Each structure stands twice: as C-alpha cells, then as structure tokens.
Amino acid sequence: MTRLLSLDYDPVYGENAVRSHFSSSRSVFDFDVVIWDPEASFHDYRLGATSYQGLQCLSDNESVRFKSDIARRREEFIEFLHSGKALIVIARPPLECYVATGEVTHSGTGRSHQTNRLVSRWDLLKAVPTPAETVYRGAHGDRIEVLGDGALPALLRKYGEYLTYDAVLTNSPGTVIARVASAANRVVAFQQVTKGGGLFTLIPVPHFPRSEHDEDEEPLDDDYSPFEDVVASAFQEELLEAVSRTTGVRDDERPAWADSYTTRPQREARERVVQQQQVLAAARADLSRAEAEVVALDAHDQLYLGTGRALELEVKEVLELLGGEVTDPEPGRDDWRVTFPEGEAVVEVKGVTKSAAEKHAAQLEKWVASAITEDKPAPKGILVVNTWRATPLSDRTGEDFPAQMIPYSKSRGHCLVLQP
C-alpha cells in the first residue's frame, strides 16, 4: 500500500495516510507520496505577527523557525524526489512576509534612543523545489484547460468541476498538464519526472462541496458531509493511482529476512541516521529549555507592560525578593497581604494607560481599613501603579501621580510606587 504524508492538506483518508505539518519534525522519507498545501502551512507562522508595508512581519522567534523550516523542507523534498518518490504541491500564489535578519540598528540617545530590527522579504514557496526563474502569480478562476493524455491529465479532467486555480506560473520546470483556458502562458499544473525516477507535480486547488442533508435527518456533527467524504476519498485514491502509473513509485517495504543481507555501507548509513537522530533530540531539548527561559524572562516585562493578574504576579515576585512573605488575596479582593520584618502591609496593584487616579488610593485605603483589628495596628498601604503602560518607556513623560492625589495619600501614610 502506498504510504501518504499530508503536510497541512485536508481531507486525507486511510490507515496509510498520516497528517502532519510543514513546520513539524516529521520526516518525509518514511512515505512514498507527500502532498503539501503551502497556504495552510503559512497560517502556522503568523501568531503574534505585526503589519509592515502591507505584509505581515514575523517575530524574531518565528522568523528563525520560518527560514529554518523552508531550508530543511526544500532539502528534504529534493532528496525525496531523487529517491524515486512523489511530491504533490497545491498551486498557491506567493506567500510572502517579512522576517528578521538577526541584525539591528540603533539611533538617537537617551529617551530618544531607538533599536530597529532589520527585516527581509521571504516567500514560503522557496521550499518548492522549482528553479529560481519560476514565477508564481496570484490569480483565481475555474476555467481550466487540461492538456495531454496521461494518468494525471485524465484525473484532472474527471474531477475538473471540483478544481479551481489560485495561482498561475511561468517557466514551468516540467510538462504542462493544465493551463488557464485560452491563455497558453498561464500554467496551473505540471508534472516532472526527476532523474531519480521521482514525480514532482503541481496541481490546482481541489474543492469538495458538502451535500445538503435531509432536514429530518440529524448530521453526525457540524463538519460531516457524506458527499465530501465520497468524492474526496475517491479523488485521493485515484490521485495516488495516477501517480503510481505515471512514474511507478518504488515500494520500499523490506521483509525481515532482508536484514540478513544488509551491506556494510547500509549499516554505516543507518548508524549515521541514529547518531543524527540523537543529535536532533538533544537540540530539541536545548531548544525547549531556551524557549522556556525566554518565556520566563519575557514575563518580567509585564512590570512595565502589564495590567491585571499578569502584573500582580510579577509585583508579588518583587515583593518576595525584597524579603516579604506574600499571601494571596481573599475572594473578592484585589490586594496582596505582605509581611515584612518591619511589619504588615497591604498592596494594591494597578496597570493603567494614563496616570494613576484618586480612586486607586481610595481603594487602597478601603483595604487598609478592612485589615485593622483590635490586636493589630493598621498595615502600611502600598500602591503600585504601572502608568502609561501602552506608551514606550522613552515617551512616558506624563504625570504619574496627579497633584490632587498626593495630599490624600500623604495624609493616610500611603507608599506610592511607580512601576517600573
């Protein structure tokens, strides 16, 4: 049975089909056929991205991952094809974004000092093993003209009503098997048999519409569609058959007795694979530790960025570093109870986009008053405020504690703390 790996392409069916992600460490070499949808993969990198010159700009971490994954997968795809396997790519338009180069520039001094990231423009389609002169352009339509008489053209004709094109390309590296109708230079599908006997093919986007179920019949779930299942699974089965008929994808299944005839170069190659897997496992462990360290260190930035619970937890850590024993607030209260060697304190923490306000001091005084008992003196009231939290630090020039608030707090012995 043909072993199929789906990289972000759905739907796929069967026990021999495995779903994974372009960004995962799942190797393609355990499979006979790989089908990849670049557009679905692109969404995986855009978490936390910002906008820059009309495109998304990835964070430093995502930039490293993006470039590394592209280089790794392209190398894998090329070797995979040279080993006689088949790679099917869904034709998509350029999937571009800006990524950090790892370099920074500095400008200004003092409060005007700025650190600027240098970025470059990258396209996820760099992972597609086509020559650099192959140009992908965004274009959408469904008037597709299929060319040729082979197994793949026959498949595209049969399922033509379910195919649309989202991209066209020029300088096709292989044999053109489909183009935009009446536009000879607008290629939407090609096939290429590699030197190693592998098959590389680019195909239009398949869309399998859902059927309308009987109103009196409850569907199994919101995404269930018998029509979609039947057509999509038939398409997959016939696509794999067409691939096999086009190039004869090699069956690398080995019976157990074949290991008795393993040659020395085979043993040495397998030993190198094991060694590299160990290196990779160690590198992943190091990466996980480094990522955890970044998360922990970034959390401290909540002292000048945060509000709510995130800010409160960081303030708690600072109070403990100062020698305080912090008690979690009671339900319905926002304050921290802190015991210092010098005495008790009640802490109110706020993160605001402007200056502190009298209401914050009044809330603190409410907590102080409620903590007074007959056998204990009034605790010290400490108000910690992260003012102007949405403003860059160098631009936080506004008043932090308004003048009308100071006399109120002074008369009650409050300690006002500006964060950071």
- Residue 32, classed as helix, strand or coil, is coil
Sheet of 336-340: strand order equals 325-327, 336-340, 343-351, 380-386, 415-418
State the pLDDT confidence band at 213, using cuts at 50, 70 and 90: very low
pLDDT of residue 111: 64
- Convert the pLDDT of each residue in 100-128 to its tens digit: 988 878 777 766 677 788 899 999 999 99
CA distances from 267 to 257, 262, 273, 276 (A): 15, 7, 10, 14
- Convert the pLDDT of each residue in 226-271 to its tens digit: 556 788 999 999 999 999 888 755 555 567 777 788 888 888 888 8
Q: Which of 6-10, 345-349, 369-373 has the lowest average pLDDT? A: 369-373
Mean pLDDT confidence for 361-365: 90
Mean pLDDT confidence for 32-37: 95
- Convert the pLDDT of each residue in 313-356 to its tens digit: 889 999 999 999 998 766 666 578 899 988 889 999 999 999 99
- Residue 323, classed as helix, strand or coil, is coil
pLDDT of residue 57: 93
Residue type at position 167: A
pLDDT of residue 190: 93
pLDDT at 177 > cutoff 90: yes
Q: What percent of the chain has pLDDT over 70?
A: 90
Between residues 85 and 136, the one the model is more confident about? 85
Q: What percent of the chain has pLDDT over 90?
A: 42
